[in-house]
A and B are shown apart, each in its own frame.
Chain A
Amino acid sequence: MARKDTINALIRRGLDEEVAVTLAEAGMLLGDVKSATLDDLEEVLGDKKKAKDVRETIGKRTKKRKKGRKKTKKKKEKKIFEVPKKFSSLEGTARELEKLAEEKGYELPRRVLEDAANMIEREDISKDDYPLILKLIKEKYYDRKVDPKESIGVVSAQSIGEPGTQMTMKTFHFAGVAEIGVTQGLPRMIEIVDARKVPSTPMMIVHLDDDYKKDRDKAKEVSSKLEVTRLIDLADVDIDLTSMKVAIRPDKKKMKEMNVELGDISSRLKKTRSVKGDVEVTGGNIYISPTEPKYSLLHNVVEEAKSTKIKGLKGVKRAILRDLGDEYVIYTEGSNLEGVLRVEGVDITNTLSNSPYEIYNVLGVEAARNSLIREAEETLDEQGLEVDTRHIMLVADMMTNEGDLKAIGRHGVSGKKTSVLARAAFEITSTHLLRAAIMGEVDKLDGVAENIIVGQPITQGTGAVEVKYNPKKALGE
C-alpha cells in the first residue's frame, strides 16, 4: 500500500510512471526521492539523464515556494523597505487567457490559467477557440466552488485529524540525509499543530550562493563554519600534574580540516568566562593554569575547556554536506536560522529551518504560515496520506490569524474563543466559569459548541438560513 502511495505521489508530482515505480520499488519513499542526490538516483535508475529529470521535477516545488520567502528575508537583511511585487505576471498563452478572462469578467485563479495554457499548447488549439475553452473552464470552475454556509472548519479539521489514526507512531525516520533522523508521522503532526518553540528534531537545509554551491571545498568551508566544534573535537585535554596545569594538545590534522588556528583556540578560551585561569601558548600546545593550584579546580577547568565552543553556530550539532548533482547543499542537525543567514556564502533566499516557530521569529508570520503548510504537507506525504492542501492552509491560517503563531489547543486558538461555554466545554471548565461570573461575560451563543450545550440548532450549514412566513401577510391582511 505504502509503495503504491509513493508511486502515486511521485506521479502526481509529474514523474513518469515508469520512473516512479522504479524508485518506489527500490524502497524509496517520497522524502527519500526528494532529498536523494543525483548519484543515488542514478544508481537506482541506472540512467544519468533520468536521474537529473527526477531531481528537477521533484525538487521544483520546494524551490518555487521559497521564492516567495525571498522578499521577506531581503527586507530584513538590508533593512530597506521594498514593496514586494505581488505576482510575477503571466506570460505567453497564459497571459492571453488572463486578458480574455478579464474582458469576459471571469475570475479565474492563476493556477487554472497556467494549466489551461499548458493544455492548449499540448493540444495545439487554435486561438479562435480560446473563448470556448475559457467558457468551459469557467463553467467547471464556478461549479466546483464551496457552498456558502459550509462549515468548512470542521471539514478541514476532520480531514487532518482522520488520517492521524493511520499515521505511524514511529518517531524517527531518516528523511533527507541518511545521517539526520527527523521526527515523522503522528508525533511530528502533533508538534506542528502545537507550534512548539523547538521541535524534537530541529534541522535546517542550507542552500549556498552561486559562488559556493558548485565548489566542494568552498561549500565545505561554509559547512565547517556552521557546525559547532568543541575543543574536545580538536585537541586532547589533560591535567599535567607536574606543573599543575591543564594541557591542551591540539591535533594538527583535525585543526587543518576544520580550518582552525591555534590562536583561535587560545583567544576563545580566554574569552570563555567559565574557564577560569590564565591561558598561555607554548610550543604548539596551550596551557591553562587555574587561579589556585587546586586539584578540584583543575578538574573543573578540564571539563569546561573540553566543552568550549571554538567555532560554529549555537544549536547546530552537525552539518552535513550533500552533493545534489548540480549543487552542494548543507543539511544540519539542530537549527539556528538567524545565525545561518548571517554566514557568508549562504543563499539566504533559499535556506530554511523545519521549525515554524523559528521561522516566525526570524522571518515573520507569513513565512511561518508557509512553513506550517510545508511541514504539515511533508509529514502527510511521507506517510502516503492524501490530504487536500486547502485544509492544511486553513489550519495554518487559523494558527497565524492574529499575527503571531498560536498553537491549536487550550493555550492557543481554543483559549481565545469568545464563548464562555465553548471554552468550558473544552478544557479547564471551572476556571472559565468562575471568571465569567466576576467579569460579567456574555455568551452570544453564535458558535457551534455553545448552541449544542443549550440545545438549539447551530448557525452553520442549513441552520444558517431560515424561512420566514408571515401568515397574516400571506393572507393579504
Chain B
Amino acid sequence: MMNKGITKRIGSIKFAYMSPKEIRKLSATKIITPDTYDDDGFPIEMGLMDTHLGVIEPGLRCKTCGGRVDQCSGHFGHIELAMPVIHVGYVKEIKKLLRSSCSECGRVLMEDEERDHYIEELEQLKKIGGDPLDQRALAKEISKAARKNKVCPHCKSEQRKIMLDKPTTFREDNTKLTPKEVRARLERIPDKDLIPLGLNPEVVRPEWMVLSVLLVPPVTVRPSITLESGDRSEDDLTHKLVDILRINQRLRENRDVGSPQLIVEDLLDLLQYHVNTYFDNQTSGIPPARHRSGRTLKTLIQRLKGKEGRFRQNLSGKRVNFSSRTVISPDPWLSINQVGVPKKAARELTVPIRVTPENIDRIKEMVARGPNPTERGKYLPGANYIFRPDGRRIRVTETNAENVAEKIEVGFTVERGLKEGDIVLFNRQPSLHRMSMMAHEVKIVPGKTFRLNLAVCPPYNADFDGDEMNLHVLQSEEARAEAKVIMRVQENILSPRFGGPIIGATQDHISGLFFLTHDNPLFSRREVVSIFSNLETENFPPSVEVEGEKMWYGKDIFSHFLPDDLNLEFRSSICETCKECKEKECPEDAYVSIEDGQLKTGTIDERGIGAFQGEIIDKIARDMGTDKAREFIDKITTISLGVITLRGFTTSIKDEDVPRAAMRQIDEVLDKAAGKVKRLAEEYVEGNLEQMPGRTVEETLEVRAMQELGKARDNAGKIASKYLGLGNNVVVMARTGARASMLNLSQMAAALGQQAIRGERPSRGYEERTLSHFKKGSLGAEARGFVKSSYKEGLQPVEYFFHSMAGREGLVDTAVRTSRSGYMQRRLIHAMEDLMVYDDGSVKNTDDTVIQFEFGEDGIDPMRSKSGKAVDMDDIVTEFKATKRRGGS
C-alpha cells in the first residue's frame, strides 16, 4: 500500500535455454518418489509436494527459504531421467540440425568459407534490422543448402537420410536413433557451426534439446485443492509428473537389472510419451493424456496458450481491485460528467489519502466518524482502513473508530469511501473504442444501480434493458489528474472516428426540443416556470406581451442557452428537401438559422443536437471549449425534458390509423404488384420473359419481382404517410430522428412488404414450393414471402412464417457478425498498437520505422477536424468578418 511510485523499469528481457547444469543448480531438491503426501497428510520428502519446493498450506514453513505461504513464492526441483528423452517443442529443430550436420564429425555440411559467408550474411541481416523471423527464414535456407551435400566436406563420410516419425522418433535409413544417439550427435556440432543454423551458441547447446534432467515447477504453481469431503485433488501438472516419475523409476530398475532390450525400449517410449504430454498435451500424432474422469489434462503449453491461457487471460488483462459492477439505470438530472454511485458501493470503494500536517485534523475527524457516517440521513464519506508506514493495516469499525483516529500520525495512509466529486472511470463492454471508458465525477445516489445521463449512452452504446457497467476508482493523484484532463466525458464529446459529436441528445430529448422550437410556440409563465424548474438557477429569457399576459417564445427559450457568439445555418432533420429551398422562409420551419446566439428560424432536432449529427454541439464543442459544450448539453436536455413532460408524449395504435379510402388504395397497389409478379411468373413459365443481359432467366424473374414488390411497398408507405402528419407522435419521432423511421411507420400502417432471405425471395422448403399451402411451382408474390398485411392488421399465418424466417436470419447475422468483427478489431489493434505520433509529427513504430512522415498526410487530428476537413472555411469567413467589423487586422 505504501506505493511510492515506480522508480525503476525493466529494461529488457532476454530469453535463453536452460542447461542441465543450471537446472541442477537451481533445483531445491531432487524428486524421486512419485507419492505426494504420507498418511498424516504431510508432504513426503523428495516427493512432488516436498516442502523444499515451497508451501501451499498455512502453518507450514518452506524448507528452502523458511517463508510461509504468502511469503515464499516457491522453488524449483528436478527429476533425473533414467534415460534421455527428446523435448517435443524442439523436434523440428533437432531434425534440422541432424540433417544439416555430419553424422560422424558433427560439422555443418558445408565448406568453412561457405559457412563464414552465411554467418556474414546473417550479421548483415541483423544490422539492417532484420527481425528474428527474417533470421529464421535465412537459417532455414542455409540448412537446406547444407543438406544438399551428401558427403561431409570435412571428414568425407557419407550422409544417410534422417527421417522423423511423428512425434519424436528419429530414423536413419530405417534404423531407429535413440535419444542418446541423437544427443551424442548434437554434442559433436561445434559452436561456430550453430550460428548459420539459426541457433545462438551463447544461450543454447543443441544437446540440451535432449532432456536428461527435468525441471519440476514449485508447488505454488500446481497447488492441490482440498475438496469439502476432505479428499485431496491434485493439479494436472502434478498428475503428469507422477506419471513421469513412475515410469522413470521402472525404467531405471529394468535397465539396472538388465531386462530385455524390448522391455527397456517400451518403457523408454512410454517415458517419452509422458514427457511429451507434460509439455504439450495437444501434439498431433499422440493421444492426449487424460484424467481419470476422461477430461484431457491441461499441461504446460495449454496453460499458456489461447484465450484462456496465461498470456491472454492473466498477463494482457488483469483483474483489479477498487472496482465494482452493477446494473445501470438512467438519470436525466445528472450532468453528463457525473455518474450516480449507490451508497453501498461508495462505502466499499475507497480512495487512499496520505496524512499530512495540513490534513491530519480533518482526517482524524473523518476516521472518528467510523466507516458509515451520515449527517441527518445524508451520506458522508467514512474511512475503512488505515495503513501505518510499516505496512500494518487497521480496519476501522464502529467500535474502534475513535481509538484509531487518535493514533493517526503524519505519514499514515487512510482509505476513505467515495465522496461527491471524486473522479472515477466508468466502462461498458465491449470496449470497442476509447469512449467506452470515460472519467466521471461521483454523485452519491440511493438505490443499488449506477446512474448515468442519457446523452452519454451513444458512446458506451448502453441502454437500460439490464446492461451492467464497471466503475474503477483511481488510486493515485497522477491518475486522477490524467483522467480529469483527458478522459472526462466532456473531453470526449467529439469522436476521433469521424470528427463529429458522439455525445448528444437522443430520443425524447429530440422530440422535446422539436416541441419547444417547431413553429415557435408561445409558453405561459406557469409553463416556463415548470420547464425551468429542473435547472438550478437560471434567469428567464426575454418575454413578450400577448393580450396583457407575459408570454415566452419557444425559440427564445432555446436561444437562452446558446452561447452569444454562435452563428450557424443548417437544415433540420425534418427538412423535406424541396426542389427549391426557401431557406429562412421555409414553410416547414426546417431551415435553422442562428445569429449571434439567437435562434431566428428553424426547428431543433437530430441535426441540431443529436448524437452523431448535432451541428450545434459540434460547433460549440470544437470552437468554444468543452466546458461550454457540457453545460449546453446538460441544460438543453433538461429543458427538453421539461417541455416534453409539460406536453406529454405517447403513442398508441391509433397513430397508425389511416382512412378507409387510403387502405383501399394501398390494397389496390399491393394487388396490382402481386398481379404483375404473377404475370411475370407466367411469362417465365411460357418462356417469354426477356432475359436481362448477363443474367439467367430465373435471375431475371427474381430481380424484376423484387423490384416490383419493393416499389409496391414504398408506394403503399407513401399513401399511408400522406395521412400522417407532424400532428402524429410517431411521425414526429421518425422525422426528427428521435427514434424509428418512416419505414417502420409504413410497415405498421400499410404493409410489411417483401421478406428477404440472403437478399432473395425465400425459395426453399418443400419440393418446388416454399410451403405446402401453395401449388407446386408457384412463383407468385404470396408464395415467395410477400407480406401484404401491416403490423396493425396482423399477419396471416403464412406471412408470419416468412416474417419469422427473415427475423431468424437477422439474429444469426448479428451473432456471426459480433465474433467476426471482434476478431478483426483484435488483429487491427495488435498490428497497430505500437504506432505513436512523435514530436516531429511522424508516425513510427517501436523499431523506429517510419510508417507515415506526417499523420494522415496533413498531421490533423481527426477528432479536431470538421468531419475530416482540417479547416472549415465557413468558420474562417465568419471569423474574418468579425475581425473586420472590429476593425482589426
Contact = CB atoms under 8 A, between A and B. Distances in A.
Nearest to B579: A18
Interface in A112-155: 112, 115-116, 118-119, 123, 125, 129, 132-133, 136-137, 140-141, 143-155
A386 to B, nearest CB: 4
Given A394-B851, A441-B132, A388 B306 contact: no
A438 B203 contact: yes
A435 interface: yes
B625 interface: no
Interface string A149-165: 11111111111111111
A173 B759 CA distance: 8
A187 B580 CA distance: 41
Given A147-B861, A162-B432, A437-B203, A21 B852 contact: no
A115 B703 CA distance: 43
Nearest to A434: B89
Contacts of B203: 437-440
Given A164-B825, A408-B831, A430-B305, A394 B855 contact: yes
Interface in B461-477: none
A290 interface: no
B801 interface: no
A445 B204 CA distance: 23
Given A151-B835, A430-B301, A454-B10, A146 B93 contact: no
Interface stretch (B76-84, B373-381, B869-877): B869-877
Contacts of A474: none
A311 to B, nearest CB: 18
Contacts of A420: 13, 15, 132
Contacts of A162: 432-433, 497, 825
Interface in B694-728: 694-695, 703, 710, 714
Contact of A172 (B759, B845, B859): B759
Given A159-B433, A418-B846, A426 B860 contact: no
B825 A158 contact: yes
B204 A161 contact: no
B263 interface: no
Contacts of A3: 741
Contact of B821 (A172, A186, A457): A186
Given A17-B571, A151-B836, A167-B821, A439 B304 contact: no
Nearest to A321: B693
Contacts of B856: 388-391, 393-394
Chain B contact residues, majority secondary structure: loop
Contacts of A158: 432-434, 497, 825, 829
Interface stretch (A68-76, A240-248, A348-356, A409-417): A409-417
A391 B862 contact: yes
Contacts of A267: none
B526 interface: no
A448 B124 CA distance: 28
A322 to B, nearest CB: 10
A417 B639 CA distance: 53
Nearest to B496: A155
A444 interface: yes
A179 B204 contact: no
B830 A416 contact: no
Interface stretch (A51-59, A86-94, A358-366, A395-403): A395-403
A12 interface: yes
Contacts of B824: 161, 164, 186, 189-190, 193
A449 B833 CA distance: 8
Contacts of A281: none
A135 B214 CA distance: 73
Interface in B827-847: 827-839, 841, 843, 845-847
Given A152-B843, A391-B497, A442-B12, A193 B828 contact: yes
**Interface hub of B14, B578, B832, B861 (most chain A Cβ within 10 A):** B832
A121 to B, nearest CB: 11
Contacts of B131: 416-418
- Residue of B93, B579, B581, B861 contacting most chain A CB atoms (<10 Å): B861
Contacts of A80: none
A433 interface: yes
Interface stretch (B310-318, B384-392, B761-769): B310-318
Contacts of B9: 445, 456
Interface in A165-181: 165, 167-170, 172-173, 178-180
A148 B838 contact: yes
Contacts of B209: 438
Contact of B204 (A137, A418, A437): A437
A438 B873 contact: no
A169 B816 contact: yes
B817 interface: yes
Contacts of B315: 425, 452-453
Contact of B876 (A111, A133, A143, A462): A133
B287 interface: no
A116 B873 contact: yes
Contact of B835 (A27, A137, A152, A159): A152
Nearest to B317: A452
Contacts of B432: 158, 161-162, 165
Given A148-B839, A425-B316, A434-B89, A462 B834 contact: no
B832 A154 contact: yes
Given A160-B828, A388-B865, A438-B90, A168 B813 contact: yes
Nearest to B852: A397
Given A27-B710, A158-B829, A442 B577 contact: no
Nearest to B206: A438
A436 interface: yes
B74 interface: no
B880 A136 contact: yes
A296 to B, nearest CB: 32
Nearest to A438: B204
A393 B852 contact: yes
Interface in B391-435: 430, 432-434
B758 A170 contact: yes
Contact of B6 (A119, A436, A456): A456
Contact of A141 (B280, B301, B833, B871): B871
A472 to B, nearest CB: 15
Contact of A445 (B11, B496, B737): B11
A303 interface: no
B883 A132 contact: yes
A441 B12 CA distance: 10
B832 A153 contact: yes
A137 B579 contact: no
Contacts of A430: 89, 280, 301, 304-305
B694 A318 contact: yes
Contacts of A143: 864
Interface string B255-294: 0000000000000000000000000100000000000000
A401 B851 contact: yes
B873 A119 contact: yes
B136 A156 contact: no
Given A193-B827, A390-B860, 11 more contacts: A22-B577, A146-B855, A146-B859, A158-B434, A158-B497, A390-B868, A420-B15, A422-B834, A437-B203, A438-B200, A439-B200
10 contacts: A109-B870, A157-B832, A158-B433, A165-B432, A179-B692, A190-B824, A388-B862, A414-B830, A429-B305, A454-B13
Interface of B: 6, 9-17, 89-90, 93, 131-133, 135-136, 198-200, 202-204, 209, 280, 301, 304-306, 309, 311-312, 315-316, 318, 430, 432-434, 482, 486, 496-500, 571, 573, 575-581, 613, 692-695, 703, 710, 714, 737, 741, 758-759, 813, 816-818, 820-822, 824-825, 827-839, 841, 843, 845-847, 849, 851-852, 855-862, 864-865, 867-873, 875-877, 879-880, 883-884, 889
7 residue pairs, one from A and one from B, having the closest CB atoms:
A153-B835, A390-B856, A161-B825, A164-B821, A153-B832, A21-B577, A440-B203
